Structure formats: C-alpha cells, structure tokens
Amino acid sequence: MAETGGGARPVGDLEDRLILTDAGTGLAAALDRLEGHCRSGGFSTEAVLDLRLVAEEVLTNIAKYAFVGPPGPVELRISIHGGSTALEFRDGGRAFDPLSQPPPDLEGPAQTRAPGGMGLLLVRTVVDEASYRREGGTNVLRVVKHRCRP
C-alpha cells in the first residue's frame, strides 16, 4: 500500500489519502490506519468500529466486483472535521452506483432470498450521508458519519 498525507494536525481535524495499489491487498493496513485516525480524534468506540466496518465492506466489494481481471488500485480519502468523518472511495473499475440498487428483500426465509445487498444495507444504516458520482472513468463513493464524538 502506498500512502501519502498525514502530518501534524490538531486532534479532530485531519485529511489523509491512502492508495491501495491492489484493491485485494493492503486492506488490513488501511483499516488500521483509519481506525487510528478516528481513535486519535477522540471518537467513540462504536463510531470507530462502524466506520471501519463500512470501509471494509466497500473496499472488499470494490476488490471483488469493480474490475474485470485482477483488482486495480483504490484510493481512500479520510476527512475528519469537527464531529464528522467522511470517507471517499475512488476506483477505476466498471461504472457502478451502489446507491441506486434496491434494498435487499428481507421477507421470507434467508435461504430463499436472492443473494447480495446486505453490505449496502449495512452501509446505509451506519452512515448519515452517502453519495455516488462518476468522474470520467472513476467511481467516487462518499460516505459521512456525523456525531462521532462521545
């Protein structure tokens, strides 16, 4: 994982940018770095774990589904300002707006439901804002969690 960003900043005010050179590797280090930023910002354990889970879900799905052939690079931008944390995921994979997908059907027994969609449901449940846009050949998914401070 190639990383840039950082530098000394006041607690709770941070911008960082991580590049995972292969969306399929470097996940643990990226998640640990995100968690460290949130913890040093004084966020609640629940908020830290929520954001880590969201990042893991999004990065895993990018690695599995965004690229034809081997996984490509993914950029994760982390912004912590005041009581909000924003995560922005950028990848050059196939165009895909995860927010336009219908919620999963939760009726009936689990074994009869269509697969997929639970991760997106989790993301939507945990964050306060989510947006998607396509910039040229890049997918940009941005999620924001407010009220992160205990």
What residue segments make up the domains of the chain, in order of their start? Answer: 13-145
Beta strand 138-145 with 84-91: parallel, antiparallel or unpaired? antiparallel
Confidence of residue 149 (pLDDT cuts 50, 70, 90): very low
- Whether the Cβ atoms of residue 65 and residue 32 lie closer than 8 Å to each other: no
pTM for the structure as a whole: 0.84
How do residues 30-49 score in pLDDT, each as one tens digit?
999 999 998 887 788 999 99
The H or E element that residue 54 is part of is helix 45-61
- Of these ranges, 50-54, 63-67, 121-125, the one predicted with the greatest mean pLDDT is 50-54
pLDDT at 148 (0 to 100) = 53
Question: What pLDDT shows up at residue 146?
Answer: 85
Superfamily for the 13-145 domain: Histidine kinase-like ATPase, C-terminal domain (3.30.565.10)
What is residue 24's predicted lDDT score, i.e. its pLDDT?
66
- pLDDT top residue among 1 and 102: 102
Kindly tell me the sign of the dihedral angle through the C-alpha atoms of 124, 21, 49, 37.
negative
Do 37 and 14 form a contact (C-beta atoms < 8 A)? yes
> Where residue 116 falls among pLDDT bands split at 50, 70, 90?
low
Phi, psi of 69 (to 5 degrees): 90, -155
Q: Examine the pLDDT at 115 and tell me if it is beyond 70.
A: no
What are the structure tokens assigned to 149, written together?
Answer: 């401070």
pLDDT at 106: 64
